[in-house]
Every structure is written in C-alpha cells, then in structure tokens.
Amino acid sequence: MRSTETQDSEVTHTRPCSSGAAGPVDFLRNFFSQTLSLGTQKERLLDELTLEGVARYMQSERCRRVICLVGAGISTSAGIPDFRSPSTGLYANLEKYHLPYPEAIFEIGYFKKHPEPFFALAKEFYPGQFKNIDTLERVAGLEPEDLVEAHGTFHTSHCVSPLCRREYSLSWMKEKIFSDVIPKCEKCQGVVKPDIIFFGENLPARFFSCMQSDFQKADLLIVMGTSLQVQPFASLIGKAPLSTPRLLINKEKTGQRDPFLGMMLGLGGSMDFDSKKAYRDVAWLGDCDQGCLALADLLGWKPSPWTLLPGPQPHQFDFPEEVPTACPGGSQGHHRRGETPVTALLGDS
C-alpha cells in the first residue's frame, strides 16, 4: 500500500538543455519516474532506519514473511575462504592444472571435455572448504523447502547426459572424489557432476519459481554477505513490494545504483541508505555473524549456553515460545520454537 500523496521535492523534473529542449535521457527519466511512481512518497513501515527499527518491525504483526538473500560473506566466521582470496583462494592455485584460463575449470563446456582438472581440485573445495557451495545452511538445520541454493549445491549430483540425468547422493560423490576416480554414471557411463552451477549453466528452476511466487509476498528482505554484483541474483532486491523494508548486513554498503539506469538495464532496484528520500533501507556494517547476533539480541533470541563451548558448533537460539511469522510461499500463522521462519537464497560472492 502506498500513499497517493506526492511531495514536490520528490518529483523528478525534466531539466532543459542549453537549446531549451529536454535532453533524451532527462525526458526518459522524467517519463519513467512519473509512470512508475519513482518520485512518489512510499509507505514507511519502519519507525526508524536502524537495526533497532528493524527489530521492532519484526516483532510486529506486519512482519510475517522474511526472505534472506545471502552470499559468501556469511561463511567468513566459519574459516571458509573465498574462491578469490589472494593466497588461499582457488584461483590462486590453478597453474598446475594447465588450464587455458582460470575460469575454465568452472565452465560446463570445458568440464564435459576435460573433467579431470575439476575433480583433481574438488578435494580442495569440497563442502566446508570454500564459500557459496559450503552447505552450511543444511548443517545448521535449515529445511530444504526453506532453502534456494542459487549457485547450486554439492548435496546432490547428476549425470551430465541430457538423455540420462540420473541423480547421485553426496556420499556417492564424496567416495569418488576422495578415491581419485572420475565419477561415471552407473547407467550410461556419462560423467557425473555435482549440482553446483558452472559458467554456461542456467540457475536452478526453483530459483526462478520462488522469485515469482515469494517476493511479492515478502514483508522483509535481509541481505547478508553479498556484493550484489552478479545477475540475476543482484536484481532480487527489486522484486519485493515498494513498501517492504530491506536490511543489509555486510562489511560495506552495496546494492546502490541509479534506479532509473538499473531499470533500463534490467538490473533491478537500488538500495537507498543515505538520501533524504530513504524510507525502508537499513545498513548494518560489519561481520555477518556479529550483525545477526546483534539483531537476535534485540529480538530477545538468546544463544544457548552450549554454543559457547570450543569447536565448530552452529549458533542456536532460545526463542520465545511462540514467534509470529509466516512460511515462505504464503501461509500465515505462528511458528513454534525451533521452526524456521525464512526462505534463504544463496547468492554471489
């Protein structure tokens, strides 16, 4: 719901060129601004543009459907390096594989002809070794129906033959990789590839179906640990209703672009943290873990005592007995303690 009230200061007017006529870019900007209501006052659901304001909104009856857009930055505290890290990253150690160029190891066309380099290297970035495909969300207990792995997963594998596509389990693939054997389909002898998304492959169909079904129902977007540079994932911030608040938890501000140019280039909406027109975007800058813990503290979700013990323990929280939320996909109600009230979409690094 948006206010129909328009403030003069928020209307984008066409500026005349030196010739006295509006320039083509200014004309288009003004046209789309008026057509798409880019210059109108939007409904503000946050009482203040801070983490505290987001927490109060989450505790209200207005916030029932939460979507998290997360990238490689959420894995930093788990000690999992990025592909592009200078010394520990994957791209820094590819010379020995004699690739035509570093990215070839993740190109589907090259993989089908030369799978050996990928599987020789697979031990080094097996789940838990590198970000984006580390399956930490599954380890943390997120239910599969609440998870959309935009860049794929090691959890399942498939034969690359389009006439076969037989599925294989994580344990099956792990045994092949650590036995230095090129995984071959037991049905057709085609190469079997983990379901991580290679360059040249489409994103999972579930990504697009959930993009269509879930975002227009979202009451809150939480964006964490992503540069929002890779499409189409980066465009998702513009898929939610114009009134939906958006919280960024990241080391630096991102997602900021000219809204007009973003629309013209098909890049999706822009985030606005600092202008006088800002009304729904909040940035909390720092490590993702610390941002999540700060938000959890404001919500009254306290870490369980056992999580303070040494070891790779995931954070678990003692929630209030009943938390008002709603499932992704549209169902409303109250989640009981321990249930997951979000859809997580895994994104770019």
Q: C-alpha distances in angstroms, 345 versus 20, 193, 213, 308?
A: 49, 22, 14, 28
Q: Is 288 annotated as a binding residue?
A: no
Rounded CA separation 33/31 (Å): 5
Residues tagged active-site = 151
What's at 71, amino acid-wise?
G
Rounded CA separation 80/75 (Å): 6
- Residue owning tokens 């959309």: 148
Residue 266, classified by CB atoms within 10 Å of its CB into exposed (0-12), middle (13-18) or buried (19+), is exposed
Rounded CA separation 154/127 (Å): 7
Rounded CA separation 218/325 (Å): 11
End-to-end CA distance of the chain: 34
Please compute, for residue 338, the number of CA atoms within 13 A of its CA located in the half-sphere on the CB side. Answer: 2
Q: Is 327 annotated as a binding residue?
A: no
Element (H, E) at 326: strand 322-326
Rounded CA separation 225/164 (Å): 37
Please state whether the peptide bond connecting residue 100 to the residue before it is cis, i.e. omega within 30 degrees of 0: no
Rounded CA separation 141/342 (Å): 12
CA 162 to chain centre: 28
Structure letter (DSSP) for residue 199: B
Question: Which residues are registered as beta bridge partners of 325?
Answer: 333
Q: Which residues are annotated as a binding site for Zn(2+)?
A: 159, 164, 185, 188
Q: Which residues are annotated as a binding site?
A: 159, 164, 185, 188
